[in-house]
Amino acid sequence: MRTLKLTLAYDGSNYVGWQRQVNGLSIQQVIEEAFAPLDGGQVRTIAGAGRTDAGVHALGQVASVHVDFDHAPSAVQRALNVRLPLDIRVLGVVDATPGFHAQFHATGKAYRYRIATTAVLSPFERWYVWHAPGPRNVAAMQRAATHFVGEHDFASFQPADSPISDTVRTIERLDVRDAGGEIVIDVEGNGFLRHMVRTIAGTLAEVGGGARDPDSIHDIMAARDRRAAGQTLPAAGLTLVSVKY
């Protein structure tokens, strides 16, 4: 059995997320159906490194699949891109170590959240940012961001009804920068809870708007209560940038 590693980019606007679901079309389903003709019509499970939510995008999603055929990786890439819609692209295909699993072998991920602050939003950006017109105190957001770095309990930053009990994660980097009419939040860590990045971004946005103190992050974490943190920002502003192995 041979293992292939795929690197993918996609616009998540028209999908219910990465994972197959009964209530709509997922990225995983589209890729698996495009892959089947390469494998004699057999639908293989293609495992993604991260289960991006509905509307979330990816620049460097990683997936793995076990196959029996001997097609060259470059041929697999070309064949998939011919069959896939234009909002999903295969950036690369390589042979991986036997047994490689995109999700279980990942050691970290990097995400980006974009907040547009201009009075008028470009129609070409509307699916890729959260539009929140008006100035924000980026320096205060940067100060708050320092409190997230390191190993912490992020229970306050996941949905209240989440069944996940192990909520300790490590954030290695969290940068906030003013990109001229846009605030960009880049975060890297060893793993993320559902909605965690979007809720961190929402909390930082409230700090930038003066609704929260930059040094309140410790108390939010200590509360282990979803109600203590800020709003969960819309999915459109979030992109999975890369996966680390």
Q: Residues with catalytic annotation?
A: 53
Q: Look at residue 157 and give its three-state secondary structure.
A: helix
Q: Is 134 exposed, middle or buried (0-12, 13-18, 19+ CB in 10 A)?
A: exposed
Phi-psi region of 234 (alpha: psi -120 to 50; beta: other; left: phi over 0): beta
Q: How far is CA 123 from CA 85, 133, 137, 178, in A?
A: 22, 15, 25, 21
Q: How far apart are the C-alpha atoms of 213 and 209, rounded to whole Å?
A: 10
Q: How far apart are the C-alpha atoms of 67 and 98, rounded to whole Å?
A: 11
* Contact status, residue 192 vs residue 111, Cβ threshold 8 Å: yes
Residues listed for the chain = 245
Phi-psi region of 41 (alpha: psi -120 to 50; beta: other; left: phi over 0): left
